[in-house]
Chains A and B, each alone.
Chain A
Amino acid sequence: MQSNRSFIVQLQILTKRMVFRVIRRPLAELPNLIISAFFLFVYDGALGGVFGGAASGTPFDFAKGNFVNFILPVSIVSASLSGAASGIYLVEDIESGVFKRYQSMPISRWAIILAPMNVGAFRVLVQSSLILGIGKFIGADPAVGNIGFLIVLSLAFIWGMGFAGYSVAAGVKSGSSQGAQAATFLFFPAIFLAPTFVPREALKGWLETAAAYNPTTYVIESMRSVMVDGWELDVLFRGYLSAGIFAAITLTFAVISARKATEKA
């Protein structure tokens, strides 16, 4: 008997197994989705009245009459954190001995490591799409048309994969799924040290400085540009660049950590 030699087929089989795991634990999917939707409803409810249509003609009209367009990227960035589940899935396999079982078979180590990341990516796409759907339902209307939703989704995907890499690295380094879970607390500085509720120009002091160094800022601004302002290619470019660099760094870190952790002692 020869093992399945195709890396792609191995990855497919292992990804399918991971999808089964996700489906079998539907409640685990809810918290991040509910928090993201909660942000959208609460922020729109609390601030939409002030910075929405009522602000038209005032200096506070940064949402150009539609606060859902302005606040939706914050919820999307929140939803994209669902990619962090990748690290938890991987470490669960290491903890349970499933990883070692696969290692004792002649299959690619990288297929074993990439499968949870695939599922993390899938999770980001599903959760971000659902939040976009809710946003559209309550009035989101991208300034560049419906293609704006796809741009926002693509940015969320890259950003989410960055978090996936980060969680895999943190999980493998800590050696426990709790470690991977705890590492997602990065979410708070990432999302709140950024122009979350108002444009960056309205921030002041240390928060303005912190936001300038926070890559989340450029991702949110990039999403907002297509939702609120229209085509601003330089802003869009900065968003993709920030998300891309973040993902490249964390995924590299994840690969190095995973390789070290799974090497023969």
Chain B
Amino acid sequence: MLAVDVKNIKKTFISKKDTVEAVKDVSFQVKQGEIFGLLGPNGAGKSTTILMLTTLLSITEGNASILGIDVATKDKEVREKIGVALQDTGIDNLLTGRELFFTTCRLWGYSKKDSEVRTNELLDLVGLIEAADRRVKTYSGGMKRRLDLGLSLVHSPEILFLDEPTTGLDPGSRRVLWDEIKRLRDSGVTVILTTQYLEEADELADRIAIIDEGLVVAEGTSDELKASIGGDVITFAFDSDDDLENAKNILSNTVQEKNELRLTVEDGASRIPGYLKDLTGQGVEVSSVSANKPTLDDVFLEVTGYRLEGSEESPTPDEKSER
């Protein structure tokens, strides 16, 4: 049985002022015991998709099921099976970590005695034993995220939804959380996470769906996605706009990114001399050129036309260049 089966779901928000299609058409399947990543920029529809799958938003069109249970009609049954840690961590800062775990355990139906036992287990699991009796408002961002993760695990869910679990964390805290998520996957928990970090998707997710403007534009394992580009990525950089424009006319099938042109070809290194000859032969000055194996970043650029994150030079979604 599939852990998650999503078929052509859509979400439209209708207000008096306007109508917004937050999710236009999203489909994917997640097998049990894998980490599935929804990768995309802010506003792509990732969080809306998660909110629909966790029964917190209605689905405008399409179908979704969790472990075979229909999300739209059996929300209570679905909630029994899932753990949820949303982007805006719903944590009561006035309580201690221990009190929060205990309260959540009680709400999930543990007896008082069992709640104490489970609380200690989870505090240990997320590395908060020493901070257990401190109020949450004294916790660091990373500690709050670990607490949030722990709270979503109280009832030992079969499927865990994590909405941008590491956003805003320092690299060290991010690494700690990654290890914890991998450990959960290894213990049999299915994890569906959203992220806008390419590195995170690459490192964590067994399979990735790239979402852009409410649509799934690519899906597969990281290696499959990289292989789908077909070859190496050659990057030409230019100092002047005129050279850039001329080069665009000379080279075909390029993707522009600020002052660079990128080209995906088989055996890129051996073809660089030929391209340089064509360019310099027509008076185009190339400031630098390189050939690399494709990264997830290249995949994202290929399928969306813009970079997801990274250097300041990267164009934003609004600045997509025509391919």
Using CB atoms and an 8 Å cutoff, list the residues of chain A in contact with chain B.
Answer: 1-5, 9-10, 13-14, 16-17, 20-21, 24-25, 93, 96-107, 264-265
Contact = CB atoms under 8 A, between A and B. Distances in A.
A98 B90 contact: yes
B106 A13 contact: yes
A1 B95 contact: no
Point out which of A1, A13, A101, A107 has the most chain B C-beta atoms below 10 A from its C-beta. A101
A2 B110 CA distance: 9
A105 B109 contact: no
17 contacts: A1-B109, A3-B109, A4-B106, A5-B109, A20-B95, A21-B95, A96-B90, A96-B93, A97-B89, A97-B91, A98-B92, A100-B88, A101-B86, A102-B107, A104-B79, A104-B84, A264-B57
Interface of B: 13, 54-58, 76, 79-80, 82, 84, 86, 88-95, 99, 103, 106-109, 135, 151, 155-156
Given A1-B156, A24-B135, A265-B13, A97 B90 contact: yes
A16 B135 CA distance: 16
A104 B107 contact: no
Nearest to B118: A1
Nearest to A13: B106
Contacts of A21: 92, 94-95
A9 B107 CA distance: 8
A3 B92 contact: no
Contact of B108 (A3, A16, A17, A100): A3
B99 A97 contact: no
B90 A265 contact: no
Given A10-B107, A17-B92, A265-B57, A97 B135 contact: no
A3 B80 contact: yes
B80 A1 contact: yes
Nearest to A2: B109
B99 A20 contact: yes
B91 to A, nearest CB: 7
Nearest to B48: A265
Contacts of A93: 92
B80 A97 contact: no
Given A21-B95, A102-B90, 14 more contacts: A1-B156, A3-B107, A4-B108, A9-B106, A10-B107, A14-B107, A93-B92, A96-B93, A98-B90, A98-B91, A98-B92, A101-B86, A101-B90, A102-B107
A199 B254 CA distance: 87
B306 to A, nearest CB: 29
Contact of A103 (B56, B80, B88): B56
Contacts of A98: 90-92
B107 A107 contact: yes
B87 to A, nearest CB: 9
A12 B89 CA distance: 23
A264 B56 contact: yes
Nearest to B76: A106
A4 B76 CA distance: 12
A3 B103 CA distance: 12
A101 B151 contact: yes
Given A1-B108, A1-B155, A101-B151, A13 B90 contact: no
Contacts of B108: 1, 3-4, 105
Contacts of B57: 264-265
A98 B93 CA distance: 10
Give the one of A3, A14, A102 with max B CB within 10 A: A3
Contacts of A5: 109
A264 B91 CA distance: 21
B56 A100 contact: yes
A22 to B, nearest CB: 9
B54 A104 contact: yes
B107 A13 contact: yes
A105 B94 contact: no
A93 B82 CA distance: 22
A265 B106 CA distance: 28
Contacts of A4: 106-109
Nearest to B157: A1
Q: Which of B58, B86, B109 has the most CB of A within 10 A?
A: B109
Given A24-B135, A264-B58, A265-B58, A105 B90 contact: no
Nearest to B79: A106
B156 A101 contact: no
B222 to A, nearest CB: 29
